[in-house]
Chain A
Amino acid sequence: MSYKFDPKARYARSHEWVRVEGASAVIGVSDYAQHLLSDVVYVELPEVGDMLTKGESLGTVESVKAAEDAYAPISGEVVEINAGLENNPEWVNSDPYGKAWMVKIKPTDLGEADDLMDAAAYEAYVQEEEEKGGHE
């Protein structure tokens, strides 16, 4: 099974991605994550102004069979949320790195991205996970 990876993003082991764009960072969930979930029916996002802490939940991505937390790959203040996801949760399945960005934050410490994986490392990690056999 081949998955898509955004070369400009860095990835957490919990399958979120983060991409630095100027002064802000954009966060979403990866193509592998949406594959595990299958059809996404709802996305719950934080509010503008909320402080996210690396490793803590920023919201949930919900399908028929699972509701998984999305964890902040780095810390920061939420400056924008993707309101379009409310009526179009299926974007997570069709365009996880583009239209389905979840939040834009003002990062507190970009150094926190150092322990995240680049696209190549994440691809290898995903392959490992697949071989282990993700459960239902």
Chain B
Amino acid sequence: MNYIPNTDADRAAMLATIGARSVAELFRDVPEERRFPALDLPPALSEMEALRELQALSEENDHLGQLSCFLGAGAYNHFVPSVVDFLLHRSEFFTAYTPYQPEISQGTLQAHFEYQSMICALTGMEAANVSHYDAATATAEAVIMALQISRGKRSRVVLSPTLHPHYRQVVRTYTQGMGIQVVGDDVPASASLDALAAAVDKETACVIVQNPDFLGRLYTPAEMQALADKVHADGALFVVAVDPISLGLFTPPGRYGADIALGEGQPMGNPLNFGGPYLGFFAMKMGDVRKSAGRIVGQTVDAEGKRGFVLTLSTREQHIRREKASSNICTNQALMALAAAIYMAAMGKHGLRTAAELSYHKAHFAADLIGKLPGYQVVSQGPFFKEFVVRCPQPVARINQFLLDEYGIIGGYDLGSDYPSLRDHMLLCVTEMNSRAEIEALAEALEELPNLDRPTEEAADD
């Protein structure tokens, strides 16, 4: 199946107008010995056959429609109202390109202006862009922006050890050619904010923390402001990665000194999709907008004085500034930003708060139940939002295999894979999507676990 309307008659007519004898003639600039290679691909399928094959492939997966999920760690199972998908799939949004011709792209432009507005409202910041690929690359772009704001005079970047491991890895990938030092995260996860503050100096371009952090811990505005003050005293930028759902309940970073607030917008209207496409939201102060990356929509008027919207500050971007651009980003995650905007508008101030409250209460209920089980200990220091850490009596991988095979539960994240001091520690996540029955089933399953034989164990000792 292909989507080519041309018939043989059409092709003949076109060749006649062009003055060529065959289509093959049009490829005469391709080196002859390289022309028309035979591609070893499976034979073409019809729509019916393709869907059948894909359906069969999908059945090799166990998905969240069949399982309960207590896994977070940067990708979250939150409620997506049906209206989001319905509106997102309007062809005019879905099949449009970047709005370079604003007069016939007001739909995309206004929707993105509204998205920017809602992100500012959510984070308490003054300006936002239309998106980055995800929170990890948004973090890397924040680093680059901080380096540019310091006019290349600072070369140190301080990362909290409880900033998501993927975000830290991507920062290092992006900065590998830049001759800067990325420090601060080679300490245990339990290291305090004071330890982080001690790592900041006058060479530091920015400090990046996460709130709630990767281990689920929620820092108070007072704690964050104290760190912000220290960072600012040294002339560096304070960057905070945040969970957008948590902002339905808790003080936003704009209120505790953040210069840049960013994060993963996937929980707002986007399915889990095995890791992508996701949404890096990015918000900043007005004064820093010209040093930022990514598309930005601005309000203006047309020739008759009517309000309209355009891409603005384009001179920062690669298509104009080229090698001096603030970033190379071009295609971004515009559709996911639209989904997030529709989500935020649909949920509204009440809905988002409710989703956050439900997540909070359910997570605390789960922590209570599990903390009472022999062999398990909730070790979260300080308050948490929807994720907490449990020390387990057995390796996390083993527990998760058991949970999946016997109970149809996806268990929490194995923190030992990122933090050597947290072997056998599991990061559990509970959201408004987990019913009380599911939570109780999880606790029941975990209680069952120590009673099982261990078939792979060495000879039993008693």
Contact = CB atoms under 8 A, between A and B. Distances in A.
B324 A65 contact: no
Interface in B305-327: 314-316, 320-321, 324
A65 B290 CA distance: 14
Interface string B353-367: 000000000000000
A44 B314 contact: no
Contact of A64 (B290, B315, B316, B321): B315
Contact of B321 (A42, A44, A63, A67): A67
Nearest to B316: A67
A2 B320 CA distance: 27
Contacts of B321: 67
Interface in A11-47: 42, 44
Contacts of A64: 314-315
Place the interface of chain A in its size category: under 10
Contacts of A123: none
Contacts of B324: 67, 69
A42 B290 contact: yes
A67 to B, nearest CB: 4
A113 to B, nearest CB: 26
Nearest to B321: A67
Contacts of A42: 290
A69 to B, nearest CB: 7
Interface string B275-294: 00000000000000010000
Contacts of A65: 315, 320
A62 interface: yes
A66 B314 CA distance: 8
Interface string A64-86: 11110100000000000000000
A38 to B, nearest CB: 12
A64 B314 CA distance: 7
Nearest to A62: B315
Nearest to A57: B324
A135 B190 CA distance: 58
Given A67-B315, A69-B324, 5 more contacts: A42-B290, A44-B290, A66-B320, A67-B316, A67-B324
16 contacts: A42-B290, A44-B290, A62-B290, A62-B315, A63-B315, A64-B314, A64-B315, A65-B315, A65-B320, A66-B315, A66-B320, A67-B315, A67-B316, A67-B320, A67-B321, A69-B324
3 tightest Cβ-Cβ pairs between the two chains A and B: A67-B315, A62-B315, A67-B321
